[in-house]
Every structure is written in C-alpha cells, then in structure tokens.
Amino acid sequence: MKLTIEQIAEINELKSQKNPTKRVTAPELEKILYEAVPALDHGFVRVIDYMGDDSSIVQSARVSYGKGTKQVSTDSGLIKYLMRHWHSTPFEMCEIKYHVKLPIFIARQWIRHRTANVNEYSARYSILDKEFYLPDPQNLAAQSIANRQGRGDVIRGEDAKKVLELLKNDAERTYDNYETMLNQKFDGSTIDENKKGLARELARMNLTLNTYTQWYWKTDLLNLMNFLRLRADHHAQYEIRVYADIMLDTLKRWVPITYDAFMDYRVGGTEVSAKGKVIIQKLLNGDEINLEQSGLSKREWNELMESFEIKDKIV
C-alpha cells in the first residue's frame, strides 16, 4: 500500500484534531477514523466521516427525540425486528463516507451499485500513479467450467509465472506509452509555437484495467448492507471481497447491534420460496419428496438443500 506524502500529512492532521461535538459517535469506529487499512497489493480503505449510530436507527423508527430511559436490550430487539421484517427506512438515517484506492476493473464492478455518492480521481485533470494490481499466485485461477463468471482451479507452476509476467509486462508497457504521450511534444496549433503533450483525457485510455484509481464513496447504512450482502459473500469475486471484508469490520465498529442483526438475518439467514417452504415442511414431517416431485429446477432444488445442509438430497 502506497500513500502520497500529501495523504500522509492529511491523515496525521485529521487524526490530531480534537473536535467536541453534541452528535452521537461510535467509539470503536473513532479509533480507526482516517486510517488507511491495506487492501490487495496497493489499495486501501479509509473511513472519512459518518453520521449516526444504532440509537439513530431506533430514534428514527420511533420518531422520538432522544434515548430516554430505554435499555440497550430494547434497542437491540427493535433493530432485530426491523431487520427481520425488512423495515428498511430507519437504516437510511445513518450515513458513512469512505476513501478507497482500488484497481479500475474492481471500480467498474463496484459502480454497479448505483446507490451511493461517488467522486473519483480525475485522470483528465491529474496523472495516474504507476501502480498495478497483480494477483497473488494462490488467487490466479482458470475460468470455471460450471460458472461463466467465476474461477476454477488455481493455475500453478510455469503457467502461473507466464500469466503474471504477461499482466506485469502489459501494464508497464502501456503505462510507459501513457507517459510518452503525456510528455511527447506535439504541434497542436499553428498559432502557438509551444508544443504540448497529448491531452490527459486521451492518453489515459491506453492504460490497463489493473491500474489503480481512487474515489470517495458515500452511502447510507441500508445500501451499505445491501452492498456487503453481495460483495462479502463467498460467491463474490475475490478482489472486491477483500474490500467488502474490511468494510464489514467498519460496520461492526460503527453500529454493532445492527451488525449482529445483519449477520444473523441477512448474511447467515436464507430466503425460501413458497414451494421451498412446502418442501421443507414435508421433510420435517418425514415425508419423502424428490426433485421430480418438487416443481423446482435442479439449481433451485440444490440451492434449497445446500441452504439447510441436507447433503444427501443434493442431485
């Protein structure tokens, strides 16, 4: 992970501040506020700011004016109820802002979550650093046969070495050409005799997708949990999951009661269709039922059996 001199100075300055406030704060999140948590080989995640905590969710749900004499257990019960019954709007009352450094190809996957405010580093205005993501050998895998958007077996030995060399050489070559286009003096005007390099907004298109970019990403708690439910899942791409796991820790520090409910009902729980519910009821009653009788597709049937760990029924 590489931070610029300016970023290090900014972090140190922000961490040294003493700002008294009447707003609610999250003590555990305050401990890592502004710190850059490493991700992948050159990336990081930083919490820049946040608003609200668990009590803010409860306050919104009750439309009250303060904590009053309620017990923490009461807040926990209400938050679990909200999570269990998909009452989502109280969770929208809390917000958080991250500073993230990530490879461009992960940023393009990440931006599919269109429920945040995003401001990305401008390669039209500034020059991107010469930093590229190169996977660790254990994360270098061939295309999955069963999953069109997933990985299969790990590539080993000389094959892995060849792939890594290709990725590294391509990234370095295109960046060298990027620098050449920026620095090469072209005759852009017959009036002005001063020659200039190619416009940054054009030169950048030559860069590989493993080049690192940065952005500020601000979202509310509800949409953060929707993001984490998908991207911290074991089915998600490894690289984006690294970032999601770091953010999952910030969620725990920020709103611990909500985090517990989220892990219980969203991450650890499962959804069952009407047909699936009938099948589970039959199995609990000791009735015999199979895929052909279920009315489910093979994929639906296996997903249901895997969710309830009924391994002898998987086909």
Residues 66 and 189 in one domain: no
Give pLDDT, residue 169: 96
- CATH label of the domain that carries residue 226: 3.30.1360.170
Query: What pLDDT does 191 receive?
Result: 46
Number of structural domains, the chain? 3
State the pLDDT at residue 14: 86
pLDDT value of residue 119: 96
Asked if residue 291 and residue 222 are part of one domain, the reply reads no
**Do 121 and 226 have their domain in common?**
yes
Question: Is residue 61 located within the same domain as residue 90?
Answer: yes
User: 86 with 104, same domain?
Assistant: yes
CA–CA distance, 31 with 26 (Å, rounded to integer): 9
- Please give the model's pTM, rounded to 2 decimal places: 0.88
Just list the catalytic residues. Answer: 231
Task: Please tell me whether residues 156 and 285 are part of one structural domain.
Answer: no
State whether 172 and 219 are in the same domain: no
Q: Are residues 123 and 161 in the same domain?
A: no
Question: Does 118 lie in the same domain as 25?
Answer: yes
Distance CA 154, CA 169 (A): 21
Domain of residue 171, residue span: 137-206
Strand ranges for 54-146 from DSSP E:
95-103, 117-120, 141-143
Query: What is the structure's pLDDT at 143?
Result: 81
* Residue ranges, the chain, pLDDT below 70: 1, 64-73, 147, 185-195
Domain end marker among 155, 183, 206: 206
- Pair 40, 147 in one domain: no
Q: Any idea what DSSP says for residue 128?
A: P
Residue among 237, 242, 76 nearest 144 (CA): 237
**Tokens 């890594």 identify what position?**
164
- Domain final residue pick, 206, 222, 246: 206
Q: Do 280 and 258 reside in the same domain of the chain? A: no
224 and 99 fall within a common domain: yes
